[in-house]
Amino acid sequence: MLRTLILAILLVPGLVLAADPPLAGDKGGDADLEAKLDAARERLQASAQEVAELTNQLNRPFFQKFSTFNGPGGRAIIGVQLDRSGGNDGAHVLEVSPGGPAAEAGVRAGDVIVAVNGTEVKGEEATRQVVKIIRAAKPDTKLSVRVLRDGKTQELTVTPRPGPGIMAFGEGVPAMPAMPPFFMVQGPLSNMELATLSPQLGKYFGTEKGVLVVRAPPDGALKLEDGDVLLAVDGREPKSGSHATRILGSYQPGEKVTLRVMRQHKTLDLEATVPEPSPGHRKDIMFQRSPPESAPAPGEVIIMRRTDEST
């Protein structure tokens, strides 16, 4: 099968970048991953409501500022936590959001931002100045950021990303952050597997750029086949499996999309429709209740379920 062949090539020793090996006895596996994904989405759901309540309790001006977002996609995100207290040499970075645009650009906790887009930020107003820029950021409009790290300056390029969006329903009602698109985590696309092309692999498939479809979605969703190399989605070029996931996630079920693929060394343009998450595709395991309460094993995390107050 093509998929087995692809996996064999991809996972040749030397190509695999493994993280620290798991401890003996930590079996992991698909079921564990699914359980963790389920728990993560529960957390996202619970936190959406909690964040809505929390931001509502803060002074009104904050709430207003937080909930005025640019358009349906929401405010662009940068993913950096600035510290108010700090020196006057710039805006101090307290935390960098994991996997966020700032992290991808190479910003690190402890950096001091000294200039953005050529304009220096200094003194007491430094943090405010940078926050102003964060607020005005537009998706994909690059920002050049100069940081001071260990006495040396570096120029980094941050590409803001569209935010997950806020569900704001008007005056007096707290805005709630949106969830990841349902049709991506459930439904035919959820089991699609992708891999970033390395130069080595690229030679095999006839292209250096693009994302390889290791396992295509079932039932011909998006008209993709195993072995296709995804070159562009409506002109947007995915740089990795994660990037491709984000691009696809920006669509609504039922929307039309043009996928440019390389199939057997030929470039094709596929006109497809983003699938709906139909009930038939629902994996029941995703909707099962959490495992029965038992004493957690040593090292096992205790997942806090949001207690439904009046059931």
Q: How far is the CB of 154 from other proteins (least distance, A)?
A: 17
Minimum CB distance to other proteins smaller for 14 or for 266 = 14
Verify binding: residue 82, other proteins, rule CB under 8 A: yes
Q: Which of 177, 178, 118, 126 is nearest to 143 (CA)?
A: 118
DSSP three-state, residue 86: coil
Among 171, 199, 235, 266, binds other proteins (CB under 8 A): 171
The rounded distance, in Å, linking the Cα atoms of 115 and 104 is 18
Of 186, 195, 189, 185, which Cα lies nearest the Cα of 3? Answer: 195
Rounded to a whole number of angstroms, the distance between the first and last alpha carbons of the chain is 50
As a whole number of angstroms, the distance between CA 102 and CA 79 comes to 6
Distance CA 61, CA 74 (A): 18
Whole-angstrom distance, CA of residue 92 vs CA of residue 86: 6
Is residue 10 involved in binding other proteins (CB under 8 A)?
yes
**Which of 13, 235, 292, 298 is close enough to bind other proteins by CB under 8 A?**
298
Q: Which is nearer to other proteins, 266 or 289 (CB)?
A: 289
**If you search the block for the tokens 């695999």, which residue do you land on?**
16
Strands 256-263 and 266-273, how do they pair?
Answer: antiparallel
Question: Which listed residue (2, 5, 68, 84) binds other proteins by CB under 8 A?
Answer: 84
- Candidate segments 29-37, 202-210, 225-233, 262-270, binder of other proteins by CB under 8 A: 29-37
Does residue 227 bind other proteins (CB under 8 A)?
Answer: no
Applying CB under 8 A, among 196, 226, 251, 273 the residue interacting with other proteins is 196
Q: Which positions from 98 through 137 interact with other proteins, judged by CB under 8 A? A: 98-103, 109, 127-128, 130-131, 134-135
Could you say which residues in the range 136-155 bind other proteins, by CB under 8 A? none
Examine residue 14 and tell whether it contacts other proteins (CB under 8 A): no
Binder of other proteins out of 13, 72, 118, 199 (CB under 8 A) = 72
Looking at 1, 30, 119, 150, which residue binds other proteins (CB under 8 A)?
30
C-beta closer to other proteins: residue 203 or 266: 203
- Choose one: 23-31, 149-157, 225-233, 259-267; the region binding other proteins (CB under 8 A): 23-31
Q: 265 to 294, contacts with other proteins by CB under 8 A?
A: 279, 286-287, 289
Residue 50 or 208 with smaller CB distance to other proteins? 50
**Binding-site residue total for other proteins (CB under 8 A)?**
123
130 Cβ contact partners less than 8 Å away, ≥ 6 residues apart:
82, 91, 113, 116, 121
Cα(308)–Cα(301) distance, integer angstroms: 21
Least gap, CB of 200 to other proteins (angstroms)? 12
Give the number of other CB atoms < 10 A from CB of residue 275.
19
- Report, in Å, the least distance between residue 152 CB and other proteins: 19
H or E stretch covering 265: none
| Binding to other proteins in span 240-269, by CB under 8 A | 240-242, 244-246, 248-249, 252, 254
- Cα→Cα distances 278→18, 182, 188, 254, 257, Å: 35, 11, 9, 12, 19
Angle, alpha carbons 163-167-173 (nearest 5°): 135
Residue 209 near other proteins by CB under 8 A: no
Site for other proteins in 38-67 (CB under 8 A): 39-45, 47, 50-51, 54-62, 65-66
CA angle, residues 184, 19, 246, in degrees to nearest 5: 20
